[in-house]
Structure 1
Amino acid sequence: MPDITDELPRLAPIMQNLLKENVLVGPTLTNVAVMEITQEYQNLINQEAQKLVHTYWTTELFSHPFIQPYFQKVVATNAMIDAITSTAAFYAHLRLGQEGLDESMIFVASKLLETSMQRYTPKNIFWLAFIVNAYDDYQAIQYYQPMLATDFVSGSFHRPWSIYRLEEEFKLILDYGAAEWVTHTSDMSIRLTQRGEKHLYKFRQFLEATGFLEKRAQLNRFAGFGQMQDYDDVMNTLTNTQELRSLVLTNAKLKPGMHVLELGCGTGALTLEGGLVNQVGSHGLVTAIDPSVGMLNRSLQKLKSYPESSVKFVQATAEELPFENNTFDAAIGCLFLHFTNIQVTLKEIHRVCKPGAWFTTVYGLQFPQTEPFMTEWLTPIYENNETLRNSTTDQLPSEDTVREIIDTLDETYDQVQIYPVEMIGNTFHIDKTIEFWFRAAHIFEPFMRNLPWKAQQDLIENLTNRGYQIQNKYGKEGMIQHHPGQFLQARVIKV
């Protein structure tokens, strides 16, 4: 019998297009408060999902060899519930800066999904939604196996955001041969079959290659930063933050009257308090971008104290700059590059800058395992990372990454300077440090994505407790982290 994994190459470009169009066919933005949806809106989401299934789920889907007859409509409805919820959350939180969902965003999400079904066929949209949910399901079974049937069905271990139970998915996984009962235990438990292991491997490859897992991590990072009300306080625990901003600003070769692009402006610390607006003067302009509406709202509040400043705040990502070619005289940013797709970001900066423009920034590198207190604190990650055979623990670049990318770009930079800098951080404030690492920056996301939801929460709790033990052992002075970073400056060259 044909296997659904045979369809993955054909489905890949469709998934990539959906991600570009911000139609999210699987659970996303699950780590932020925006997902705490009222019962009224849960009912509305369910109604919209049922409408989509009623209109587009046909008997042809049941009879298709890749879709088993027992694929109940309730499974399709559940998949559409997740897709509507995630897409609505994206537009509400990351486009409008709302704290929660409202009726209009739910209708917008439902309409976008319907449009996608008409463009790419309903079958393909349903399949992609099934694949994402199956990936989360199989990952949980593999991690906990043998996994109690009651734990799976409740969703509390791997999909606690779901507003439905997983009975039908449980039946499907067993009937499809992806999991089997464990007979040698007294509890009702399941484990993956060889087929299930193969599917999990293929689904993970597919979701990584199409960019879905990275998109999910990126959106959770944007939302996490936006919800950090104490972001400035947390950043101030980096005791040399001001020094790093000054390093960037002093070397940026800015002149009065320039139009300067600032990337990753956050709450405007470099833009306003750091003095960037003063460098360009009243005849210049700073266009400051950040992907988080929450951050930009705080920047706009600060701007009220700088009435004479020439600043324009824009919601955008560094990978998709909404500006014409050759717009800016210079580009600048502090501690943002390591949170982006560096290759795409450097291409975009090159595109929007004028010939001869300078790009100047500092950014963080991968976590070192050289400081005893930090190695001891993060032991659960480093040890489990070897167990999971994942080569990357954190999502930060290595010391050679940026140089290698610049050397291989078609877009030309010259007079490239890269040299080491140090970010000195006081990690003594355990809760703030953990919040920044795991709830906002998602620094260890390449490792964390290999864990189901509950395992992630358990690990964060473990690391919090270990942090307080480390605090008692090393004291405040012993918990100063010397984190490696790099200064980068390069000039845009265009033929």
Structure 2
Amino acid sequence: MYQVEDVRHVIADLTNSSLVVSPWLAYVGGRVRFDSCISDMLYWGTRDFTQAHWRREYLTKAFGTLPVHSRFPRTAVFETAASTAAFLAYEQTGRPSVTERHATDALHVTEDFILQHGFDYFLSSYVMLTMYENHNALNYYGQMREGDFLSGRLHRPWVDYELDDELILSCELGTAELFVDSGERFVRLTTKGRDRLSDYYALLKETGYLDKRNRSLRISHFSEMEDYDSVVQQIAPTAGDLRRSFLDFTTIQPGMRVLEIGCGSGSFTFDAGLVDLVGPNGSVVATDPAPRMLERAMMKRDPHDVPWLDFVQAPAENLPFPDGSFDAVVNMLAMHLTDIPTAVKEMHRVLKPGGIVASFHPLDFPMANSIVQEWFRPVSSLVQQPKRETTMPEKSTVPDAVAPYFRDVVCQETSTPNYYTNPDIVTRFYLESVGLFDDHLTRIPWAERTRLIEETRNNGRRLCSMHTTEELTVEYPVQMLRGIARDLNASPKGCA
């Protein structure tokens, strides 16, 4: 039977693909919709593929002598294809409705991946990922009623089948066990199961799979945030002044070709004046990974006559532009939502040598503030290492990332007031969209994550009823950074 290390390369490739095994990535609000035609298309497509490519000898390779139900391979292919279709729908449209095109693309991606890596390796990876979800839930709750585990309602609410095959396999592996208490059947992890969970987590963290899942969830939540501009205005009413100050800091000049990373709803593009500063002799390309955020930004373009502005859906970690395409790359409140080292490398790649990079981003969360401490206590209580409670960058994080690629780096730190006067907006923005505690929330079951967010919201309501606006004002540290792109292909001085 394949071990964790045997499938490392498959999980790594999975992380870098558009394939999704866990529907967490697209399960925002539980509103993913498949009409009957799409469901039938996925069902028959995955059934036909499995019948054509699955071989009984793969069972021995993947599972040794462990008992595995004959339907298990097709279930794995179907769930992967359906999850990928939902993910593609969110990624491409920002909406949960899966079309025939999404389903077709998902089937092709799934089939190509399986053929490339082998059905046995794919199935082993699928089992590992689903067992991570199952074991994670058992580890968190200590024990679960058998019915709750089989239904998946607490930890995998997106599945529409019983998890009995997975429970049997876990028991045969010795990672979980059934026991009876007061006449009722329960499931719990064994010592071997807890050890195996640690191995799974380490692998998923090292390969970037969990980070990919977190970023995709944030993109989905940002897409869902129809009231983004008003949310930011309520939380940070001085944001407009900060955007204009940052534009001056960038030293961007008229006529430049500028790339904006994470443009969101276009606040920096339009409201701060980026597109007007660049002017018709230059150009601006504004990108964002969330399609519905781009839609809102494009709506702001309608009253403006700015043919030198284009919008492109793209993540900072994978920019669809040739090397050396831009004179400047800027981002306003986007860097902290990316894989920072990968994003910085991409920004340098698309810049001309001598081009400008500029970033405005928040720094580590002010958890020492008493209001912040109490507001987020339900979630921060999960943290075992208080020095790194949140996912926000430290003062050195971005400067260290840019140092190999940029010279003459200038950093400025300041703070901006944030107002904790609306419990619903503050909780939704920081926990769901910004992903403040994602490193910790990702390790708890879906239902418990939802409960903790609601408990945090109720904490906020209580605090708002007890404190004045002044007491609910929190100073947030922010950093502005600017640098000049190094020519990494240039010969060092003194060399022929």
Do both share a fold (TM > 0.5)? yes
Cα 1:441/1:55, change in 2 over 3 Å: farther
Pairs within 5 Å for 1:71-110: 71-110=68-107
Q: Which amino acid aligns with 1:137?
A: N
Match of 2:243 among 229, 242, 245: 245
Match of 2:429 among 417, 426, 436: 436
Match of 2:476 among 474, 483, 488: 483
Deviates more, 1:391-400 or 1:320-329: 391-400
In structure 2, how many angstroms separate the alpha carbons of the residues matched to 1:449 and 1:392? 15
Q: Which amino acid aligns with 2:380?
A: Y
Q: Which amino acid aligns with 1:231?
A: Y
Matched, 1:118 2:142: no
Deviates more, 1:260-269 or 1:101-110: 101-110
Q: Quick check: 1:390–1:447 contact (8 Å CA) kept in 2?
A: no
Pairs within 5 Å for 1:106-255: 106-237=103-234, 238-255=236-253
* Map of 1:376 onto structure 2: 374
CA shift, 1:43, in A, is 4.1
Match of 1:365 among 346, 363, 375: 363
- Show CA shifts across 1:331-368 (max 9, x none): 21110111111111111111111122221221011212
* Map of 2:438 onto structure 1: 445
* Map of 1:12 onto structure 2: 8
Deviates more, 1:257-266 or 1:106-115: 106-115
- Show CA shifts across 1:307-326 (max 9, x none): 23520111111111111111
CA shift, 1:176, in A, is 2.1
Deviates more, 1:57-66 or 1:145-154: 57-66
Matched, 1:256 2:254: yes
* Map of 1:22 onto structure 2: 18
Match of 2:389 among 378, 390, 393: 393
Cα 1:390/1:67, change in 2 over 3 Å: farther
- Show CA shifts across 1:468-490 (max 9, x none): 00111113332222111111111
Cα 1:441/1:86, change in 2 over 3 Å: farther
Cα 1:145/1:13, change in 2 over 3 Å: same
* Map of 2:318 onto structure 1: 320
In structure 2, how many angstroms separate the alpha carbons of the residues matched to 1:457 and 1:157? 10
Q: Which amino acid aligns with 2:270?
A: L
Matched, 1:70 2:63: no
Match of 2:272 among 271, 274, 296: 274
Q: Quick check: 1:392–1:447 contact (8 Å CA) kept in 2?
A: no
In structure 1, how many angstroms separate the alpha carbons of the residues matched to 2:434 and 2:40? 33
Structure 2 unaligned segments of length 5 or more: list them. Answer: 491-496
Q: Quick check: 1:280–1:286 contact (8 Å CA) kept in 2?
A: yes
Cα 1:385/1:273, change in 2 over 3 Å: same
* Map of 2:54 onto structure 1: 57
Q: Quick check: 1:61–1:67 contact (8 Å CA) kept in 2?
A: no
- Tell me the SS of whatever aligns to 1:73: coil
Deviates more, 1:123-132 or 1:29-38: 29-38
State how many pairs are aligned. Answer: 486
Cα 1:295/1:68, change in 2 over 3 Å: farther
CA shift, 1:185, in A, is 4.7
TM-score normalised to structure 2 length: 0.93
Q: Quick check: 2:54–2:119 contact (8 Å CA) kept in 1?
A: yes
Q: Quick check: 1:32–1:220 contact (8 Å CA) kept in 2?
A: no
CA shift, 1:158, in A, is 0.2
CA shift, 1:143, in A, is 0.9
In structure 2, how many angstroms separate the alpha carbons of the residues matched to 1:433 and 1:36? 29
- Tell me the SS of whatever aligns to 2:482: strand
- Show CA shifts across 1:360-380 (max 9, x none): 221011212221111111122
In structure 2, how many angstroms separate the alpha carbons of the residues matched to 1:352 and 1:125? 35
Q: Quick check: 1:178–1:194 contact (8 Å CA) kept in 2?
A: yes
Structure 1 unaligned segments of length 5 or more: list them. Answer: none
Matched, 1:283 2:284: no
Deviates more, 1:445-454 or 1:81-90: 81-90
Q: Quick check: 1:135–1:200 contact (8 Å CA) kept in 2?
A: yes
* Map of 1:330 onto structure 2: 328
Q: Quick check: 1:16–1:210 contact (8 Å CA) kept in 2?
A: yes
In structure 2, how many angstroms separate the alpha carbons of the residues matched to 1:311 and 1:67? 58
- Show CA shifts across 1:417-436 (max 9, x none): 11212132112111111221
Query: Percent identical across equivalent pairs?
Result: 27
Deviates more, 1:94-103 or 1:458-467: 94-103
In structure 1, how many angstroms separate the alpha carbons of the residues matched to 2:22 and 2:64? 18
CA shift, 1:216, in A, is 1.0
Q: Quick check: 1:32–1:224 contact (8 Å CA) kept in 2?
A: no
In structure 2, how many angstroms separate the alpha carbons of the residues matched to 1:296 and 1:214? 23
CA shift, 1:68, in A, is 4.3
Cα 1:477/1:42, change in 2 over 3 Å: farther
- Show CA shifts across 1:30-77 (max 9, x none): 225552434553444333333333233321122236344421133333
- Show CA shifts across 1:74-121 (max 9, x none): 333332232112211222221244441012211221121111121111
- Tell me the SS of whatever aligns to 2:67: coil
Q: Which amino acid aligns with 1:400?
A: S
- Tell me the SS of whatever aligns to 2:368: coil
- Tell me the SS of whatever aligns to 2:382: helix
Match of 1:463 among 425, 439, 456: 456
Cα 1:70/1:364, change in 2 over 3 Å: same
Deviates more, 1:425-434 or 1:465-474: 425-434
Q: Quick check: 2:94–2:220 contact (8 Å CA) kept in 1?
A: no
In structure 2, how many angstroms separate the alpha carbons of the residues matched to 1:73 and 1:486? 56
Cα 1:401/1:131, change in 2 over 3 Å: same
Q: Quick check: 1:34–1:89 contact (8 Å CA) kept in 2?
A: no
* Map of 2:343 onto structure 1: 345
Match of 1:493 among 467, 486, 490: 486
In structure 2, how many angstroms separate the alpha carbons of the residues matched to 1:98 and 1:369? 34
TM-score normalised to structure 1 length: 0.93
CA shift, 1:19, in A, is 2.7
Deviates more, 1:199-208 or 1:73-82: 73-82
- Show CA shifts across 1:99-148 (max 9, x none): 41012211221121111121111111111111111100000111112211
CA shift, 1:301, in A, is 1.4
Q: Which amino acid aligns with 2:21?
A: V
CA shift, 1:15, in A, is 2.2
Q: Which amino acid aligns with 1:428?
A: T
In structure 1, how many angstroms separate the alpha carbons of the residues matched to 2:35 and 2:469? 43
* Map of 1:418 onto structure 2: 411
Moved over 6 A (4+): none
Q: Which amino acid aligns with 2:485?
A: V
